[in-house]
Amino acid sequence: MNLLMCPVCREQLKLSERTWRCVNNHSYDVAKQGYVNLHVVQHKHSKNPGDTPESVQARRAFLSAGHYAPLQHAVVEKIRKLHIENLLDVGCGEGYYTNAMQQEVMQCVGVDIAKNAVQVAAKLNQDVTWVVGTGATLPVLDASIHLCTSLFSPIPKQEILRVLKPEGYLMVVTPAPEHLYAMREALFEEVKPHEPHKFVEQLQDAFDLVDELVVDAPMRLAQQDLKNLIAMTPYAYKVKAERREALEAKDQFELNAQYQIYIFQKK
């Protein structure tokens, strides 16, 4: 089944050769890297929305080194147990998790607002339908998706409700309370634990929480890996330069990654 929706008229898109086209003849070409751009001008708030190229490359290098592999494995295991046919990864970034999740389903769509991230992702796995698009108008048809995933990404609740099938699932991965605590202590004067449970409260009117898991992953990072980790997080923009430089000067750094996985089912 073609899952993609025209962002202009909201009709189904069909792929012919290397062009996605709807019945109203709106058309979107597949780029040479293998993705399609469905983020139309009227939906844009800036010229180059989403992550910077520097952040994308840092994340690609860090994740490729396997530091977040325990989370990737846990996510794949959860998806395997759901026995679903398709999924939409909202905020897929450069595709590290999407690439692994695709192995467990028949159809997989990865969408991100950052074109430079999707360009990197499209090189990973041609069996994923990679899309540049916005969570404000998810580029898939109503009631077409078995599972939406949001890993460290925004959760466009109303759009997720629109695209999910009846009793479809939503997987949310977010920092658990102690995630990267040692690094945050080094970067900031005041550090508060993350509050993952806020997502349960935000979603409880429309979703039932059916499963949850906390994954701990201790890490010992070499200097370049530490630099990549800082660069790929929002902390890179918020920290004082002297604190960042002091941390990046360390040859090695020990810290704990801690992830909260929630699985919700649409009521």
92 is in an annotated binding site: no
6 is in an annotated binding site: yes
22 is in an annotated binding site: yes
Q: Helix 241-248 crosses helix 223-232 at what angle (to 10 degrees)?
A: 150
Q: Are 94 and 120 in contact (CB under 8 A)?
A: yes
9 is in an annotated binding site: yes
Distance CA 161, CA 143 (A): 8
95 is in an annotated binding site: yes
168 is in an annotated binding site: no
Q: Are 101 and 76 in contact (CB under 8 A)?
A: yes
Distance CA 195, CA 175 (A): 8
45 is in an annotated binding site: no
CA 66 to chain CA mean position, Å: 17
Distance CA 22, CA 183 (A): 48
Strands of the 19-21 sheet, one edge to the other:
14-16, 19-21, 27-29
148 is in an annotated binding site: no
Binding residues: 6, 9, 22, 26, 68, 94-95, 179
Cite the annotated binding site for Zn(2+) by residue number: 6, 9, 22, 26
User: Which segments are annotated as binding site for S-adenosyl-L-methionine?
Assistant: 68, 94-95, 179
